[in-house]
Amino acid sequence: MSDKIPYILVTNDDGITAKGLRILIETAKKFGDVIVVAPDSHQSAKSHSITQASPIRFDKVEEFNGHLEYSCSGTPVDCVKLALHEISERKPDLILSGINHGANTSVSVLYSGTMGAAIEGSLHDIKSIGFSVDNHFSDADFSDAVPWMEKIISEVLDKGLPAGVSLNVNFPDVTKVKIKGIKTLRGAKGVWGERFVKANDPHMRNFVWITGDLYNKDEGKEDTDIYQLKQEFATVVPIKVDFNYYDFISELSEWDFNE
Amino acid sequence: MSDKIPYILVTNDDGITAKGLRILIETAKKFGDVIVVAPDSHQSAKSHSITQASPIRFDKVEEFNGHLEYSCSGTPVDCVKLALHEISERKPDLILSGINHGANTSVSVLYSGTMGAAIEGSLHDIKSIGFSVDNHFSDADFSDAVPWMEKIISEVLDKGLPAGVSLNVNFPDVTKVKIKGIKTLRGAKGVWGERFVKANDPHMRNFVWITGDLYNKDEGKEDTDIYQLKQEFATVVPIKVDFNYYDFISELSEWDFNE
């Protein structure tokens, strides 16, 4: 690690009042100067969305010992973009997102606002980590994850990450189990099978509310995050965005598109 | 192609009134039975987000000759999930998303609601295609793209797509240029460099509005979508989601996380 004090941007998707964010801020402050730009409301499952059709507001909400906090009306990715271009004094050395109330294993990375923020950081070549705990209750106490987060943050600051790469870190439910250690591995292949809860509003107009279950296509595979999280390990998955399916380009180019 | 009449779900991110959607519906009807589930408002740049923190409404808006249309208060991915689980008579054989008013080349796939819907289809192992035109005006006439869309849809219905793979199709601005042909290739590497326009609302409260420019990291590379779109070709990129950065797992597992 260089002698320069790291400048650390902290954000999340559960909103600026979330307990998980508070613990992450306190942890981040052990490593450097912290700035917080977080959504003013719940922004779960916002993926990589940005607010394009309407304006964004942001407000300075607090000035604590040595760090500033801003709330933002936009998504987690909006928060990162706003921090980088309007709020931060300088380009952050590290972006920390979370601690999310709920696991983000497998294909959940695609839907997750927590990971959306971390991925956005990595696209700007900033070392970025998303943290999640397998407990979605807003009053859950994630303190037991702190020593493990410190190990991960320390290693990332020390060794860096390849360009365009972020880390997706999931902890087991630390309110119930003791973390056995950290496993580095891949995210399981899976798909969200959705369900819709149906009801009427107080005006007797019907609505649906989305929920669902993650189907693990890698059931029983020890080299996946879902498997090891169940074994009470923290999981670290390196994440890189490249949507091109290179293996199919050559075959596809032989199709009769131009005839 | 089998003798069974294909059942085709059509959606978009510009909303159910968009001209691009109307052209796509008419094109789809040449190939099978069509159902439309599209957002009731603009849902651009919604990426893969779903509406988790609030209910979703959907309403049957029209019953045309041989097809039904539903509007939905959610995102493009919500529309697909709702169609699959609540509205469709049977699992669609094909999902068509677009025609988006604006190109979705390079890293734009990550932010795009149009491609969010197509990718969601591919995760459910449904053949899915996102169409976009490099013209973002809502009154633009995309009719000249129709013969090329027909070629692509016909080939996809005939030959199928690998599991989990969708196609990202971009057309040059057909209101100004004549399409020279179709190129199958990869999406260019790039990053969105964002800017914020600042102003005050009528109540003198300030806001910011996000905009930006796509920086092409593959400038001049002929095997990329950005390059060939500029040469007035339509571009077809096969898309598959896998966020795991496998090449780094082994190195990362040697870090001192557990000491």
Contact B234, B169 (CB under 8 A): yes
Say if the Cβ atoms of A42 and B53 lie within 8 Å: yes
Sort strands A94-101 and A127-133 into parallel, antiparallel or unpaired. parallel
Mean pLDDT in residue range A149-159 = 97
Contact B244, A190 (CB under 8 A): no
Please state the CATH superfamily assignment of the domain spanning residues A7-186+220-244 in this structure. Answer: Survival protein SurE-like phosphatase/nucleotidase (3.40.1210.10)
Residue B129: pLDDT band by 50, 70, 90 thresholds?
Answer: very high
Q: Residues B58, B62, B67, CA angle at the centre, nearest 5°?
A: 105
Say if the Cβ atoms of B109 and A243 lie within 8 Å: yes
Residue B99 is encoded by which pair of tokens?
A: 């025609």
Say if the Cβ atoms of A207 and B116 lie within 8 Å: no
The two counts, helices (H) then strands (E), for chain A are 7, 11
Percentage of residues in chain A having pLDDT higher than 90? 94
Say if the Cβ atoms of B239 and A245 lie within 8 Å: yes
pLDDT at site B3:
62
Say how far apart CA B137 and CA B56 lie, in whole Å: 28
pLDDT at site A83:
97
Task: Name which residue leads in pLDDT, B256 or B136.
Answer: B136
Q: Which residues pair with residue A40 across a beta bridge?
A: none
Mean pLDDT in residue range A236-253 = 97
Say if the Cβ atoms of B47 and A48 lie within 8 Å: yes
Closest CA to B223 of B166, B183, B192: B183
DSSP assignment of B81-110: HHIIIII-SS--SEEEEEEEES---TTHHH
Mean pLDDT of chain B: 95
pLDDT at site B155:
97
From the CA of B210, how many Å to the nearest CA of chain A? 6
Within 8 A of B208 by CB-CB distance, chain A residues are 55-58, 82, 86
pLDDT at site B256:
83
pLDDT at site A155:
97
pTM of the model: 0.96
pLDDT at site B148:
97
Domain ranges of chain A: 7-186+220-244
Query: Tokens 């991110």 identify what position?
Result: B13
Residue B161: pLDDT band by 50, 70, 90 thresholds?
Answer: very high
pLDDT in tens, B49-102: 999 999 999 999 988 777 999 999 999 999 999 999 999 989 999 999 999 999
Mean pLDDT of chain A: 95
pLDDT at site B147:
97
Asked whether the predicted pLDDT for residue A2 surpasses 60, the reply is: no
Nearest by CB to residue B249, choosing from A42, A57, A238, is A238
pLDDT in tens, A191-209: 999 999 999 999 999 999 9
Question: CATH number for the B7-188+221-252 domain, one of 3.40.50.1820, 3.30.530.20, 3.40.50.720, 3.40.1210.10?
Answer: 3.40.1210.10
Residue A259: pLDDT band by 50, 70, 90 thresholds?
Answer: confident
B168's CB contacts (< 8 A; 6+ apart) are A243, B104, B109, B115, B118, B130, B132, B187, B225, B235, B236, B237, B238, B239
Local structure of B50: helix, strand or coil = coil
Within 8 A of B86 by CB-CB distance, chain A residues are 196, 208
pLDDT at site A66:
79
pLDDT at site B258:
81
* Among chain B residues, CA nearest to A56: B208
Secondary structure (H, E, C), A10-51: EECCCCCCCHHHHHHHHHHCCCCEEEEEEECCCCCCCCCCCC
From the CA of A115, how many Å to the nearest CA of chain B? 11
Mean pLDDT in residue range B187-201 = 95
Asked whether the predicted pLDDT for residue A5 surpasses 80, the reply is: yes
Percentage of residues in chain B having pLDDT higher than 70? 99
Mean pLDDT in residue range B170-175 = 97
Residue B2: pLDDT band by 50, 70, 90 thresholds?
Answer: low
Percentage of residues in chain B having pLDDT higher than 90? 94
pLDDT at site B257:
87
Query: Tokens 């990589």 identify what position?
Result: A48
Which of A200-214, B202-216, B219-233 has maximum average pLDDT?
B219-233
* Among chain B residues, CA nearest to A160: B252
Say how far apart CA A77 and CA A38 lie, in whole Å: 10
pLDDT at site A176:
96
The helix (run of H) or strand (run of E) holding residue A141 is none
